Structure 1
Amino acid sequence: MTIQGFIFDLDGVLTDTAEYHYRAWKRLADELGIPFTREENEALRGIPRRESLLLLLKGRTYPEAVLSELMDRKNGYYLEFIRELSPRDVLPGARELLQEIRAAGLKTALGSASKNAREVIERLGIAELFDAVADGYSVTRQKPAPDLFLHAAALLNLPPSACVVVEDAEAGVEAALAGGFYVVGIGPQERVGRAHIVLPSLAEARLSDLCQQLLHYAAD
């Protein structure tokens, strides 16, 4: 196996926008009179907007037009909050790893279910470190289906077996494995433990170390 590309999730990997998502969902839930906790917000990690809304509604039913308005309202709140983002909000080690990958001549793509992914990486000042962006507009089936990562690999003109996905959500890890990718999981073992490599963060991640560890799986 020769690794030729990396595909990065956004939230929880490159920056922590989970707090902004929580604040936006919480504001919407308060307006609807629905209890919503930080623990419940964790269950929305890596889940597309519509599915997240249905989980927040806890079985309450609304016409499709109302669901669409609620999603738009939440997104409006989120966009208000992410205007606070700046290059200071890139998580430790993320920019350095991206730069190391580019310096090695490897390709990079973003693979995020967020429909605001392009704006976020622009505000973070890392957009120029990506060769391609696959986001919430790119495919119909979102994680845990592998479609988003397969689309990202196609944009890089690489097969999944030559790409490493970096993910922090269980749904994202499942999607990457289903697509035939190598996976680096960021976060606790109980959440991303099925990944080939599990790291607490990218703070100490080095390209040479990751490639060396993944060679072990290629040899199996």
Structure 2
Amino acid sequence: MISAVIFDLDGVIVSTDEYHFQAWKELAKELGIDFSREDNSRQRGVSRMESLEVLLEKTEQTFSNDEKLAMAEKKNSIYRDLLDRLSPDQILPGALNFAEESRKLGLKIAVGSSSRNTPFILKKIGLSDYFDAVADGNDIQRSKPDPQVFLIAAERLAVRPAECLVVEDADAGVEAAKAGGMFALALGAAKGHPGADLRADSLERLSIEKLLRELG
């Protein structure tokens, strides 16, 4: 029986994909690397340092760990500047309705995101105090597809992993949910993942009550 819904943040509640792309592209330009949207799509759902490695695959240059950390921090600084443009108007269609319906059914709701910018993003879109719990990149040592962030969210909600439905738009997130013993609702690009329990294009006009009936 589902007693909690854990939402990924980026691509589920709000989309900052374009800001990520622009920030990585600016860093790539400084390094003389041609960075495409296809490259950017491979970074979805993984950590900042893993995303950097995707970018650095396109150069024969070698860098020390300290240099890589500095690059990742520079990218994040660019990204944070772009995030200043975020507002509540940019919450994705259907996200709040889905969360509100979950609450009305007596379900707890949480965010489980690998991003260390999660608190800043939630503040910009006016949802800092909205969720019953938040687990993010500041809490974890292992990013998705490791289930650590979702397991922390479940622990903070005081529910068992088997009682959680994770809402994800990235393959790595679906894999993390299943590795943690949770149900997975796969959205958008992730809906073709064979491990997903439920699938939808987006949360717009999606009913949690109907989905729970599908799960039995």
Identify the residue that residue 155 of structure 2 maps to in structure 1. Answer: 154
The normalised TM-score by structure 1 is: 0.93
- CA shift, 1:106, in A, is 1.4
Which residue is 2:108 aligned to? 107
Q: Is 1:122 the counterpart of 2:147 in the alignment?
A: no
Corresponding position: 1:25 with 2:28: no
Provide closer, same or farther for how the CA distance between residues 189 and 117 of structure 1 changes in structure 2, counting only shifts above 3 A: closer
Aligned CA RMSD, in angstroms, stands at 1.3
**Partner residue of 1:213?**
214
- After TM superposition, give the deviation of residue 202 of structure 1 in Å: 0.3
- 1:57 equivalent in alignment to 2:44: no
In 1, Cα distance between the equivalents of 2:135 and 2:193?
21
| 1:11-50 aligned within 5 A | 11-50=10-49
| TM-score w.r.t. length of structure 2 | 0.95
Q: Does 1:198 align with 2:199?
A: yes
Distance 2:87 2:194 in 1: 31
Q: CA deviation at 1:60?
A: 3.8
Q: Distance in 2 between matches of 1:13 and 1:132?
A: 16
Give the residue type in structure 1 aligned to 2:131. F
Separation in 1 of the partners of 2:64 and 2:163? Answer: 44
Alpha-carbon offset, residue 103 of structure 1: 2.5
Check the 8 A contact 2:191/2:201 in 1, yes or no.
Answer: no
Measure how far apart 1:210 and its partner are: 1.4
2:144 is paired with a residue whose SS is coil
Return the offset for 1:128. 2.8
The equivalent residue for 2:92 is: 91
Distance 1:110 1:67, change over 3 A: same
Tell me, in whole angstroms, the C-alpha distance in 1 between the residues paired with 2:205 and 2:108. 21
Separation (CA, whole Å) in 2 of partners of 1:140 and 1:98: 28
CA distance, structure 1, for counterparts of residue 140 and residue 82 of structure 2: 26
- Indicate the SS of the match to 2:173: helix
Structure 1 letter corresponding to 2:98: L
Deviates further, 158-167 or 60-69 = 60-69
Please list the CA deviations of residues 160-199 of structure 1 after superposition, one character each: whole Å capped at 9, or x if unmatched.
1100000000011011011110000001466534211110
Residue 57 of structure 1 and its aligned partner are, at CA, apart by 0.6
1:218 counterpart residue number: none
Counterpart in 2 of 1:3? Answer: 2
Partner of 1:172: 173
CA distance in 2, matches of 1:29, 1:37: 10
2:142 is aligned to 141
Cα deviation, residue 147, structure 1: 1.0
State the secondary structure of the residue aligned to 1:192.
coil
Count of residue pairs the alignment pairs up: 214
* Identity of matched residues, %: 43
Q: Residues of 2 paired with 1:122 and 1:102: CA distance?
A: 21
Retained in 2: the 8 A contact 1:28–1:74?
A: yes
CA separation in 1, counterparts of 2:129 and 2:103?
10
Could you tell me which amino acid in structure 1 is paired with residue 215 of structure 2? Answer: L
What are the ranges of 5 or more consecutive residues in structure 2 without an aligned counterpart? none
